[in-house]
């Protein structure tokens, strides 16, 4: 059991009020809050260590380089990457996907081949593939959802065939919260000789994820969804694929030698990190990983399972509330998307905000999924290690208040 009372004291923002109420932050799938340790690590870096990396012989530059490279090793250990050089720092999941699209898929995949994705894919793992499909004449195939809002695995196996070049798939939906069973899909892709990219933006922050266990070729995720700063992400790829890939951008740090008219590419991982990277962000990410490690991802996952079971139980009892995705906590993470009959999700979000409850509303960068459910948007509550059952109670009473406001509005309308 997590000691949330103690954990919450590590997050300064959780002490603040919003609209006169204590903040109930339930927008963790968008970005998480940062503990003081992460904020301090960034401040300490700028106050005492700041220097450019990989370039200087002076002490500060060497210290900053060591710190940056140590975080790379920490990331490799987190996801069981066999080799820290196969961990590339990017701006975030979106840039990592685009890097794979431009540097591996665009030169490799040819007309007649197909890309297999899934319906609930975030736009970050859909739009880049649409761009490539148009440019290279590839077919896009989306694995459908079954009635329970899970991936239809039997349909999936028929979509993956000998012409599939890549299976690019999320491990966890940022809307439905469903944790997909990727193993059979990855095995099917392997049998057909296709490569596999796993979008771990919503899974890596919440439960142990191993590239070896998944047997994927590419894993992508973002630091800001796991207590780290914005502007830092990860692409972890099989070394032989990275070795075969051209650089993403040209500039400093990615070269071996440069002549007036040509250059040779640098070694991994620097070949994919042109220019001065987000050093302070990576340092902050290291502090976030230390924090998560100290608490343990297994314990965080258990905590979220407890919260989502509690939330589902309470929310299902509310009249007029539709909950999307799997209805059992065992198949989902701490994400619950819903709509309240008669209220636009944005109005609902505003009513909740008046009571200090921060949820997300809109299409959640998943417009095809909204089309699947025939809605323009949804409201979403998403939990993390610092959320408590008492905050779920606050959410539920804020929803009840929204219902009462709606009923009053409807009865006023009837009277006029």
Ligand X SMILES: Cc1ncc(COP(=O)(O)O)c(C=O)c1O
Catalytic residue among 103, 216, 236, 365: 365
d(CA 179, CA 199): 12
- The piece of 40-48, 98-106, 120-128, 285-293 that touches ligand X (CB under 6 A) is 120-128
Among candidates 293, 313, 314, which has minimal Cα distance to 385?
293
Assess 278 for contact with ligand X (CB under 6 A): no
What tokens were used for 307?
Answer: 């919260």
* Residues 32, 384 contacting (CB under 8 angstroms): yes
Assess 122 for contact with ligand X (CB under 6 A): yes
DSSP annotation of 251:
S
Number of residues that bind ligand X (CB under 6 A): 12
Active site residue 236: no
Shortest approach of ligand X to residue 188 CB, angstroms? 21
Shortest approach of ligand X to residue 261 CB, angstroms? 36
Assess 94 for contact with ligand X (CB under 6 A): yes
Pairing between β-strand 17-18 and β-strand 195-199 as defined by DSSP bridges: unpaired
- The piece of 9-17, 92-100, 176-184, 406-414 that touches ligand X (CB under 6 A) is 92-100
Give the angle 210-91-194 at the CA atoms, nearest 5°: 45
Q: Rule CB under 6 A: which of 216-255 touch ligand X?
A: 222
d(CA 321, CA 403): 10
List helix spans (H) across 317-358: 345-353
Q: Give the DSSP H/E element, type plus range, for residue 196.
A: strand 195-199
Shortest approach of ligand X to residue 382 CB, angstroms? 10
Assess 118 for contact with ligand X (CB under 6 A): no
Single residue of 28, 32, 33, 93 touching ligand X by CB under 6 A:
93
d(CA 351, CA 79): 40
Single residue of 114, 174, 278, 387 touching ligand X by CB under 6 A:
174
Single residue of 114, 136, 164, 170 touching ligand X by CB under 6 A:
170
Assess 86 for contact with ligand X (CB under 6 A): no
Assess 74 for contact with ligand X (CB under 6 A): no
Q: Which residues bind ligand X (CB under 6 A)?
A: 92-94, 122, 124-125, 170, 174, 199, 201-202, 222
């Amino acid at each position: 059991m997590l000691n949330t009372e103690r954990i919450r004291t590590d997050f300064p923002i959780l002490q603040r009020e919003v609209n006169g109420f204590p903040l109930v932050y339930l927008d963790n799938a968008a970005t998480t809050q940062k503990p003081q340790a992460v904020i301090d690590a960034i401040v300490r870096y700028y106050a005492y260590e700041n220097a450019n990396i990989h370039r200087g012989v002076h002490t500060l530059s060497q210290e900053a380089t060591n710190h940056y490279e140590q975080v790379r090793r920490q990331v490799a250990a987190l996801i069981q990457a066999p080799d820290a050089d196969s961990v590339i720092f990017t701006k975030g999941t979106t840039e990592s996907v685009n890097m794979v699209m431009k540097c591996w898929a665009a030169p490799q995949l040819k007309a007649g081949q197909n890309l297999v994705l899934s319906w609930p894919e975030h736009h970050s793992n859909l739009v880049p593939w649409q761009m490539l499909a148009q440019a290279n004449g590839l077919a896009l195939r989306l694995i459908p959802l079954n009635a329970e809002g899970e991936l239809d695995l039997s349909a999936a196996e028929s979509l993956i065939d000998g012409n599939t070049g890549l299976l690019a798939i999320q491990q966890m939906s940022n809307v439905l919260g469903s944790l997909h069973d990727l193993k059979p899909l990855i095995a099917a892709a392997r049998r057909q000789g296709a490569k596999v990219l796993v979008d771990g933006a919503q899974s890596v922050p919440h439960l142990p994820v191993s590239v070896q266990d998944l047997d994927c070729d590419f894993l992508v995720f973002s630091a800001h969804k796991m207590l780290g700063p914005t502007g830092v992400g990860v692409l972890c790829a099989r070394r032989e694929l990275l070795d075969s890939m051209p650089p993403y951008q040209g500039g400093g740090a990615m070269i071996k030698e440069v002549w007036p008219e040509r250059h040779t590419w640098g070694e991994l991982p620097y070949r994919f990190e042109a220019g001065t990277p987000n050093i302070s962000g990576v340092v902050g990410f290291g502090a976030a990983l230390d924090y998560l490690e100290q608490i343990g991802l297994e314990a965080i996952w258990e905590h979220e399972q407890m919260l989502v079971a509690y939330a589902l139980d309470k929310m299902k009892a509310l009249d007029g509330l539709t909950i999307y995705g799997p209805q059992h906590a065992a198949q989902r993470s701490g994400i619950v998307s819903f709509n309240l009959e008669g209220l636009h999700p944005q109005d609902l979000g505003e009513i909740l905000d008046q009571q200090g409850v921060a949820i997300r509303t809109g299409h959640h960068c998943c417009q095809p999924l909204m089309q699947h459910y025939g809605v323009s948007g949804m409201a979403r509550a998403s939990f993390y290690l610092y959320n408590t059952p008492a905050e779920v109670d606050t959410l539920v009473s804020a929803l009840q208040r929204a219902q009462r406001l709606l009923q009053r509005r409807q009865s006023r309308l009837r009277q006029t």
